[in-house]
Copies of this chain bind each other. A is one copy, B any other.
Amino acid sequence: MAAPTSKSLEFPKLQNDLIIRAARGEKTERVPVWAMRQAGRYLPEFREMRAEHDFFNVVQTPSLACEITLQPIRRFQLDAAIIFSDILVINQALGMECVMVPGKGPTFPNPIVEPDDLKKLNKDVDVKERLNYVFSAITLTRQELKGKVPLIGFAGAPWTLMAYSIEGGGSNTYAKSKKWLYTHIDASHQFLQMLTDVIVPYLVCQVEAGAQLLQVFDSHAGILGKDIFCEFALPYLKQIATRVKESLRTKSIEPVPMIVFAKGAHYALEELNNSDYDVVSLDWTILPQQARSLTPNVSLQGNLDPCVMYCTKEVIQAKVEKMLSEFGSQRYIANLGHGMYPDFMPESLETFVNSVHEISEKMNQ
């Protein structure tokens, strides 16, 4: 069993530490598995809750966030829960208004347009107070999980949050935010550092509140090339892992394993391997064996094409078997290469989870 990570709080004893051991490169008797967006619209009980509550209302209400986090844990033999929240809470904490527009996703009515707009942001925000609802949700959920599985905390990566801030929402080309990287170089670094300086205490506070692993989502890494990824995204990703772990050690808290998911960054696997992250999470376009050979220092997570969830039980099983044979059964966390989509059948995730367990147990015999 892993050592307790939180200093002051007392939590139920952890009964399943597979994912923590896999993340640390320790031996596991079966491959741990979870799914990004496992708490999501594909679950009828999630849609029921959302019919009554606005998205950010759920995020900001610990009892509701806890309930939604637990929904997939009740249904499936998942090896981890991930706190229900949103990466854009960091932008909100900095003072940016963010609304969930149905059919369009999270939107900033007043995006960052030019460098002067950065002055409007509240960079000295008291993270512990301003995002207290997340920490409360984590503590409550960790209690409610009763040690069944570890609880993952997370944050968006600086580049991804910067891109959202400038685009005001989604984009095909991310041309506005990439234009900043090419033409407002100093302001871009200033913004990325500002975001990093909020993300670090945010993640540290999540661990203090009870998070047992952390994942950093660089969802828009794929729109960058290697040059600008290495100049504007990677340094801040690395800084986050290093500083979070240092800060936890300073507080006499054992650092938790950290996962980095730079979606689409097929060109930067070696760079991610040489960082303080314990796990590199892969999208479905990455070939497992190629990734293994480029990342000897880390455990890997991923990377089934989410659309395999549309297949029959037999096909899902076969695809899982192929994936496991390619990644191997050690230093590995099974997951999708992206989040669950709203029109997936819950039964598909059940098949996915059970297949990972059954096949990997056989592999380890």
Contact surface of A with B, Cβ cutoff 8 Å: 170, 172-173, 175, 178-179, 181-183, 222, 224-228, 264, 266-267, 284-287, 305-308, 310-311, 315, 337-338, 341, 343
Contacts and interface: CB of A to CB of B under 8 A. Distances in A.
Contacts of A228: 305
B264 A285 contact: yes
A285 B267 contact: yes
The 9 closest A-B pairs by CB, nearest first: A178-B307, A179-B310, A225-B284, A182-B310, A225-B305, A182-B311, A266-B266, A175-B341, A225-B285
- Copy count, this protein chain: 2
Contacts of A182: 307-308, 310-311, 315
Contact of A285 (B226, B311, B338): B226
B225 A179 contact: no
A266 B267 CA distance: 9
Contacts of A175: 306-307, 341, 343
9 contacts: A170-B172, A173-B338, A179-B307, A182-B308, A182-B310, A182-B311, A222-B285, A225-B284, A228-B305
Contacts of A173: 306-307, 338, 341
A107 to B, nearest CB: 14
A87 to B, nearest CB: 16
A181 to B, nearest CB: 8
B341 A226 contact: no
A222 B284 CA distance: 10
A247 B355 CA distance: 48
A39 B308 CA distance: 39
Contacts of A341: 173, 175
Given A173-B341, A266-B267, A267-B287, 14 more contacts: A170-B172, A173-B306, A175-B341, A178-B305, A178-B310, A179-B307, A182-B307, A225-B284, A225-B337, A227-B305, A264-B285, A266-B266, A267-B285, A267-B286
Contacts of A311: 182-183
Contacts of A285: 222, 224-226, 264, 266-267
Contacts of A284: 225
A318 B315 CA distance: 50
A224 B179 CA distance: 27
